Chain A
Amino acid sequence: MKTGIPKTTGLKAHLTRRYMFSASHRLHRDDMSEAENRTTYGKCNNPYGHGHNYMLEVTVSGPVDDQTGMVCNLVDLDSFVRTQVLELYDHQNLNLLPEFASEVPTTENLCIAIYEIVKRGFRHAHLDKIRIEETMMNSFEYLGERGEDL
């Protein structure tokens, strides 16, 4: 006999998924003098660049669907992030990508770039936040222009 799942209005939950990618970058602006670049970016200005294992956290929210128990299907989120974000950035030199042609590829700007990709393309839940750990010692979060806390 079917037990049936009762239909109630879904409560709102926030789901966070963590991903990893590796990329290289150099923090440098052509419109700054060599001295100013060195002062501003320090060793991150090394002309040959350097790399990080970036840990990306994507937080989405929405009402929990009674029939599936989910905010959104993880398969959809994983496949979107893999094809639209990780395949774009993993094992790349960030400075050579179009979005960083005129922006310095700091992790702040990387957060904003990834937020824009997910916000624009992912339709299965509301994007709350992008958080990136550049190393175990520093991390960055972007919640969109409104920027309020969750």
Chain B
Amino acid sequence: MVYLTRKAEFSASHYYHNPDFTPEENQRIFGKCNNPNGHGHNYTLEVTVKGAVDPRSGFVVDLKQLKDIMSREVLDALDHRFLNQEVPEFLTKIPTTENLAIVIWQRLAPKLTAAKLHRVRVYETPDLFVDFYGEASEREAIEPES
């Protein structure tokens, strides 16, 4: 098994707001991210796939194909977009970095056939990133403190 990671960058704007919260709750929980005029980030995306090395090509995955899938499924939809209004998933989800990682996973996983998606990592800034390893590791409760 070999793991291969491909990076990409996209820029997008968003703001955090839950219509079920009062304005005070939205402000308290989301702070300056609640500014309704939005703000933006230069996101860095790392997509890691895993698989056996093909004995003829020497590839885990054809990088060109991976790049094309990432462009079509993710970058075309997210790059230079206002996430809250232009990306359907974020009509009903807060566009946090956590949810971005999940949405990107859900867009990529069904399209990857040659290699299996291992991890989606999204950097919102160089000092903050989220990893998502898929629905297999989902729904685990926070471990009780020992």
User: Which residues of A line the B interface, CB within 8 A?
Assistant: 2-6, 9-19, 59, 61-64, 66-71, 73-75, 125-126, 150
Query: How far apart are B128's CB and chain A's nearest CB, in angstroms?
Result: 6
Q: Is the CB of A73 within 8 A of B29?
A: yes
Residues of B within 8 A of A66 (CB): 93
Task: Report whether B18 and A126 are in contact in the complex, using a CB–CB cutoff of 8 Å.
Answer: no
Interface residues of B (CB under 8 A from A): 16, 18-21, 29-31, 91-99, 101-102, 126-133, 135, 137-143
CB distance from A84 to the nearest CB of B (A): 16
| B130 adjacent to A13 (CB under 8 Å) | yes
Of the candidates B93, B102, B139, which one forms a contact with A5 in the assembled complex, judged by CB atoms under 8 Å apart? B93
**Are the C-beta atoms of B131 and A14 separated by less than 8 Å?**
yes
Asked if B130 contacts A14 (CB within 8 A), the reply is yes
**Nearest chain A CB to B115's CB is how many angstroms away?**
19
Contacts of B96 in A (CB 8 A): 64, 68-70
For A10, what are the chain B residues with a Cβ–Cβ distance below 8 Å? 139
Q: What's the least CB distance linking A58 to chain B, in Å?
A: 11
CB-defined A-B contacts under 8 Å, sample of 15 = A2-B20, A9-B139, A11-B139, A12-B139, A12-B140, A13-B102, A15-B128, A15-B131, A18-B128, A64-B96, A68-B16, A69-B94, A73-B29, A125-B142, A150-B133
Minimum distance in angstroms from B18 CB to a CB of chain A: 6
Q: Contact between A64 and B102 (Cβ–Cβ < 8 Å)? A: yes
Inter-chain CA distance A11–B133, complex, in Å, is 10
Residue contact A17 to B139, C-beta cutoff 8 Å? no
For B140, give the chain A residue with the smallest CB separation. Answer: A12
A68-B94, A70-B96 given as contacts; is B19 within 8 A of A63 (CB)? no
The answer on a CB contact under 8 Å between A3 and B143 is no
Q: Which residues of A sit under 8 angstroms from B92, Cβ to Cβ?
A: 3-6
A-B contacts besides A15-B129, A59-B131, A150-B133, 20 pairs, CB < 8 Å: A5-B18, A5-B19, A10-B139, A11-B102, A14-B130, A15-B97, A15-B131, A16-B129, A18-B127, A18-B128, A63-B139, A64-B102, A68-B30, A68-B96, A69-B94, A69-B95, A69-B96, A69-B99, A70-B96, A125-B142
Bound CA span A57–B21, Å: 32
